[in-house]
Structures are given as structure tokens and as C-alpha cells.
Amino acid sequence: MRKQDWQPNRKSDIPIYIQIKEYIKEKIAIGEWPIGTRLPSQRKLALLFTVNRSTVVEAYEELIAEGLVEGIEGKETKVINNTWNIVASATPDWESYVKGSTYKPNKVFIQRINEAEFLGETIRMGTGELSPSLLPIKKTNQILSSLTLSSEHLGYEEAKGSYPLRVAICKYIRKSGVNASPDSVLIVSGALQAFQLIANGLLKEKSSILVESPSYLFSLNVFQSAKMNLIDVPISKIKNQVSILKTLKAQHQANLLYTIPTFHNPTGMTYSTEERKGIVDICRSNQLPIIEDDVYRELWIDSPPPQAMKSMDQTGNILYLGSASKILSPGLRIGWIVGPEVVVNQLADLKMQIDYGASSFSQAVLEKWFTNEDMYEEHVYHIRSELKQRRDFMMELLEKYFSRFASWEVPTGSFYVWVKFNKSISLSQLFDLALKQHILINPGTVYRENGPSYIRLSYSYESLEKMEHGIKTLAKIVKGIR
């Protein structure tokens, strides 16, 4: 549900709770919310319709009185009948289908973040995307007008994706020291899909994946849904005692190491060349393949990062992931996997079974972007200087409003500041209180369950004014709950 879908009419003579009741009845009547459906929480509807929670309670009470829904243990409200008075058994129990899925739902915080991002007036203080004002709309329009449509753009592409795009990607990644030929590149529908393909196409159930802690990967359930385990390895351990990887590989019979070595999400950390070498060497000698997730590489602010770990790989031990999402457009949904052909062929075959390839049209647009090097470089330069300005401003704000109760490191690239509170605080309380004031944060528990209290802030998405308002308000809330 989005805010734009429906709103009560405040000028109407019909009381708002009745309008909400009728809206829900309509959803039940047309089968969008069949019997068994859990209604949204009162808190969520109140936020969505900008009404008091008591108004939603009244609407729900009316629906209960009419026998359409019932409250269960004061926690949730379920549809138990429909307006056509069809007996319950005539409707499939979709809720039990949903619950029976082998695919795990997102973490609750992630679900709430995904919803709140589209509530309209939300100030998104944790979002890991370029601000709408930084998306290259004008330049992409130029690209579109120079694109002469051909049958390939409107048809299916070959299994590994558009050949000209794969050629362009090989040239593009050469800047990071990666030598690859188009046959070893698979175009995917965003780097996120690479995880899905690797989980389903390369690994067995009960496989174990070593993952830096904290990590973006813990915010997803892709590997867990495929009945695999993520084993967390503190980043400080990897940096200071790389032999831990050998120990953990043996202890857990680990099958892979997943790492974000450049402008890591959420910490912003970047491994030095020496550290990269150490990791690559120990993984190679212990037959522990690596997934190197390099989606943030281009977003350096102070100085270019070391070359990719993949550039040090002579034995095909590394699967290298890239994406157009963070530098150009997440909406294109284009990423890539570079690896040994046996792997790429297998994942390409699986991808054909899943979706017949990423959008041909998006692939053509990205190919034009990559081959129009001057335009691309101009864009990247612009993004870096904007990010620098935003990063510097965020540092000033944090210094001014957060320094008494939190600490952080100055990020040298990408979007994020990993902010640590000096004392442990309730992140769910902070999240709720902030959201009440339309401010959305990413609690650190999304990326690491235990340990000190952190939040991930981002300086890439909101305008400077909104960033300032967001930080000031957050500081007040934190002081109130400490």
C-alpha cells in the first residue's frame, strides 16, 4: 500500500473512521484481502492515512462488529468473512500458503524500511541510493535519443546477456585491474540476483558462507532461504589476523567467503592492497572461493581505492560482482558476475530458467553509457564532487549534534556513515520515535544482530536541508531515550 493509493476525504461529511472501514470492506469484497488475510497494523494504517491510531481502532471495531474481521490475542486482526457472505471454506487459505513458503520473509526492520521509504514525507537518512537529484536524467535522455532501436532491444538476449555490453564491461573492469573476456561475464538483474543464482546454482543445502561482520549480506535472507548458514567474521579479525579464515573454513567446512572490500556496506571500510593480498592468498591456499562484491568502487571521494582482489586472482578463485545501481541507476536493474566459465555457464543456464535474462532495453542503455566514455567520466566526476560536499556536510552535522553521545569514522567513499552510540540504546525505540517524526534510519542490527548499538546513516539521498533537519531531530530523540 502506498500513500497515494487512497486517502480519506477530510472535507466529506462521512466520519473518517467510516471511510476507512468502507475502504477495507471494498478490499475484502473484491478479493484483494481474502479470508485469512492479516490486516495492516493500526500503527501502519494511522501513518499511511495520517490519522490518529484511535481512528483506525474505531474502523477495525466496526469491521469486527459486522463480523468481517476478528482480533487475535490483541496482536493482529484477520479477515474472517467477506461481504458476499461466502463460507470461509470456499476461500483458499492464502496466509497458510504464505507461511509455508520456503523463502524467508525479510527482517521486520527491512520490511518497515521498504514500506516507509514510499510514505511520501519520509526523510530517508539511511537510504543507500543516489539522491533523485543526482540521477543522470538529462544524460540518459541524450543516450535514449541516440539509441536506434533494433530487434535485439525488443527481443530476448543470449543467455549470458548482450554481447556488446559484456565487451563494454570487460573494458570497464580493466580499470580495476580485472582481466576478463566476454565469455566469463554474466549480466544479471542487479547484483542482488547474483546472490540468488550463486545460492541456487552453486551451493548445496547446509553450505556455510563466511561473511564479514557487520555486512549488508545480513540484511538479506537469500542464503538462509536456501537453507544455508552465514558465519560472521569480525572485520577487525580479518584485518589483523587473516589466518582466522583458515580456522573458520576448517571449523565450519565453509564453502565461500563473501566480502565487500571497497567502501564496505555498512562500515565504509576499504582493505589496503596488503590486506587484499593476504585474504586472496589464504583463500586460494585453502580452496575457499571468494565472492568479491565491488558495487561501490567508483564512488571514491578522497583517493582511488586499491585494485580489485579479482586482479590478484590467477586461479579462478574469485567471483567478481559489479552493478550499475550505485553510480548510474538502480532502476536499470543491471549488474554482472565475472568468474570461471564453468560457473558463469551454470549461472546463465539458471538465469534463463528464472527470467530469460535481464531487460534487453536496460542492457542497451548501459552499453551506450559505458561506450560513451566522455559522458560517463563527466557523470562520475560530478557524482564524486557532490558526494564529497555531502560527506563533508554530514561530518559537520555529526560533529555538532552527535559528538557527545556517538562516534564514527570519516568515510572515504560511497554513501554511508556507521555511527556507534557510546552507550547501548534501544534501536527499535529510536526507529519508532524517529519514524513518528517522518525520519527513517537503518538500525545497525539489520547488519549485525549483537554487539554495541549502531545506526547506518547515508549522505547520498536527502538534500542538505533535510539532512540537517534529520540529524537535529535524531539527536533530540537520542538524548530523550538515553
Ligand X SMILES: Cc1ncc(COP(=O)(O)O)c(C=O)c1O
Q: Is 295 in the site for ligand X (CB under 6 A)?
A: yes
Buried b (16+ CB within 10 A) or exposed e, 121-139: ebbbbbbbbbbeebbbeeb
What are the φ/ψ torsions at residue 199 (nearest 5 degrees)? -60, -45
Q: Is 460 in the site for ligand X (CB under 6 A)?
A: no
Q: Is 254 in the site for ligand X (CB under 6 A)?
A: no
- Best CA proximity match to 438, nearest among 131, 133, 107, 117: 117
Helices 373-402 and 137-146 pack at an angle, to 10 degrees, of 160
Q: Least separation, in Å, of the C-beta of 215 and ligand X?
A: 8
Applying CB under 6 A, which of residues 335, 357, 413, 470 lies at the interface with ligand X? 335
Q: Least separation, in Å, of the C-beta of 68 and ligand X?
A: 40
Count of residues near ligand X by CB under 6 A? 13
Q: Which residues contact 167 (CB under 8 A, 6 or more apart)?
A: 182
| Cβ atoms 126, 442 nearer than 8 A | yes
Q: Which among 187-195, 202-210, 268-276, 359-367 is the span making contact with ligand X, rule CB under 6 A?
A: 187-195
The CA–CA distances, whole Å, from 281 to 212, 218, 259, 271, 273 equal: 17, 25, 14, 14, 12
Q: Which is nearer to ligand X, 259 or 360 (CB)?
A: 259
Applying CB under 6 A, which of residues 136, 161, 190, 305 lies at the interface with ligand X? 190
Applying CB under 6 A, which of residues 24, 69, 222, 260 lies at the interface with ligand X? 260
Applying CB under 6 A, which of residues 46, 116, 165, 192 lies at the interface with ligand X? 192
Q: Least separation, in Å, of the C-beta of 263 and ligand X?
A: 9
| Cβ atoms 123, 462 nearer than 8 A | yes
Q: Which is nearer to ligand X, 228 or 299 (CB)?
A: 299
Reported as type and span, the H/E element at residue 189 is: none
Q: Which is nearer to ligand X, 182 or 330 (CB)?
A: 330
Q: Which residues from 304-333 bind ligand X, rule CB under 6 A?
A: 323, 325, 330
Q: Is 397 in the site for ligand X (CB under 6 A)?
A: no
Q: Which among 77-85, 93-101, 139-147, 188-196 is the span making contact with ligand X, rule CB under 6 A?
A: 188-196
Applying CB under 6 A, which of residues 58, 62, 293, 298 lies at the interface with ligand X? 293
- Best CA proximity match to 287, nearest among 257, 311, 325: 257
Q: Which among 185-193, 373-381, 402-410, 429-437 is the span making contact with ligand X, rule CB under 6 A?
A: 185-193
| Rounded-to-integer distance, Cα 17 and Cα 46, Å | 11
The CA–CA distances, whole Å, from 276 to 97, 270, 273 equal: 45, 9, 5
Q: Is 255 in the site for ligand X (CB under 6 A)?
A: no
Q: Least separation, in Å, of the C-beta of 301 and ligand X?
A: 17
Q: Which is nearer to ligand X, 35 or 319 (CB)?
A: 319
Q: Which is nearer to ligand X, 35 or 191 (CB)?
A: 191
- For residue 53, give the 3-state DSSP assignment: helix
Q: Is 433 in the site for ligand X (CB under 6 A)?
A: no
Binding mask 205-224 for ligand X (x = CB under 6 A): -----------x--------
What are the φ/ψ torsions at residue 276 (nearest 5 degrees)? -60, -45
Q: Is 262 in the site for ligand X (CB under 6 A)?
A: no
Helices (H) and strands (E) in the chain — how many of each?
18, 15
Which residue minimizes CB distance to ligand X? 190
| Rounded-to-integer distance, Cα 482 and Cα 476, Å | 10
| Cβ atoms 398, 408 nearer than 8 A | yes
Q: Is 265 in the site for ligand X (CB under 6 A)?
A: yes
Q: Least separation, in Å, of the C-beta of 334 and ligand X?
A: 7
Q: Which is nearer to ligand X, 49 or 216 (CB)?
A: 216
- For residue 377, give the 3-state DSSP assignment: helix
Q: Least separation, in Å, of the C-beta of 330 and ligand X?
A: 5
| Cβ atoms 320, 339 nearer than 8 A | yes
Q: Least separation, in Å, of the C-beta of 459 and ligand X?
A: 15
Q: Least separation, in Å, of the C-beta of 193 and ligand X?
A: 7
Q: Least separation, in Å, of the C-beta of 119 and ligand X?
A: 20
What are the φ/ψ torsions at residue 161 (nearest 5 degrees)? 105, 175
| Rounded-to-integer distance, Cα 397 and Cα 115, Å | 27
| Rounded-to-integer distance, Cα 283 and Cα 88, Å | 57
Q: Least separation, in Å, of the C-beta of 139 and ligand X?
A: 19
Q: What share of the chain is helix, strand, coil (3-state, %, to 5)?
A: 50, 15, 40
Q: Which is nearer to ligand X, 60 or 369 (CB)?
A: 369
Q: Which residues from 11-40 bind ligand X, rule CB under 6 A?
A: none
| Cβ atoms 418, 268 nearer than 8 A | yes
Q: Which residues from 96-155 bind ligand X, rule CB under 6 A?
A: 128
Q: Which residues bind ligand X (CB under 6 A)?
A: 128, 190-192, 216, 260, 265, 293, 295, 323, 325, 330, 335
